[in-house]
Amino acid sequence: MAKGRPRKSNVRRTKSGAISRAASAYHENAEAIALRMRVFGLTEIEARDQKASTYVGRLCLAGIRKSTDGISEAQYDAAVAYLEAQQNFKRAVKSPDALSTGSGGASGPDGAGYDTWCQRAVAKWEGIEAAIQTEQGFHENRGANMWAALDYLLCRDQGMPHMIGDLRLALNAVGHHLGMIARPVKKHPNANAA
């Protein structure tokens, strides 16, 4: 039998036998993680979470912690779905900024299913817009500016704590429309009478 070169001792290996690089990757971004911890007041585990890279993600982490005002996991998922629907809409209508970042869905602009993908993307975006506008029009929410909250906090990734409540309302509307968040059951005013 041919004898290979001797194996390094005290080295972690993957299941396939290759040397694991996980330990070096863990320490690779230590300065950035320490900066996130210091600037945003996160624990090390939270700072290593992918959500910590955006303002809305940090709001979700704060909501999980319950130590400060934040948003729920379902609202965060609605935010991700909103951004995806917006990007797909921009690609479907061939917006210049969307075209520079990549091609549309369904095999690109010349693909067989591209036209139907575009129609679905536009219809989904218009449904989301209508749901937000309907929620914006309710008399309880007339003072809220959900569009600005979505634009500044979600799309532009700017921290504006005074808009968090409006963002929650907008994300609830998106979540309700997409079926990600259950609609609250409203009691009839005369339910207790009788």
Q: Are residues 110 and 148 in the same domain?
A: yes
Number of domains in the chain: 2
> Is 137 part of any domain?
yes
- Asked if 78 and 130 sit in the same domain, the reply is yes
Q: How far is CA 188 from the centre of its chain?
A: 35
Q: pLDDT for 46-77, tens place per residue? A: 888 889 999 999 999 888 777 667 899 999 99
Residues 92 and 121 in one domain: yes
In this structure, the answer to whether residues 170 and 111 fall within a common structural domain is yes
My answer on whether 80 and 134 are in the same domain is: yes
Over residues 140-164, the mean pLDDT reads 90
User: Does residue 187 fall inside a structural domain?
Assistant: no
71-120: pLDDT as tens digits? 999 999 999 999 999 999 999 998 887 666 655 455 455 667 888 999 99
* CB neighbour list of residue 129: distance below 8 Å, 6 or more residues apart: none
Domain, as residue range, for 124? 54-178
The answer on 76 and 47 residing in a single domain is: no
Could you tell me if 61 and 119 lie in one domain? Answer: yes
* Mean pLDDT over the full length of the chain: 83
Q: Is residue 165 part of a domain?
A: yes
Share of residues in the chain with pLDDT > 70 (%):
82
Write down the pTM of the prediction: 0.76
pLDDT recorded at residue 14: 80
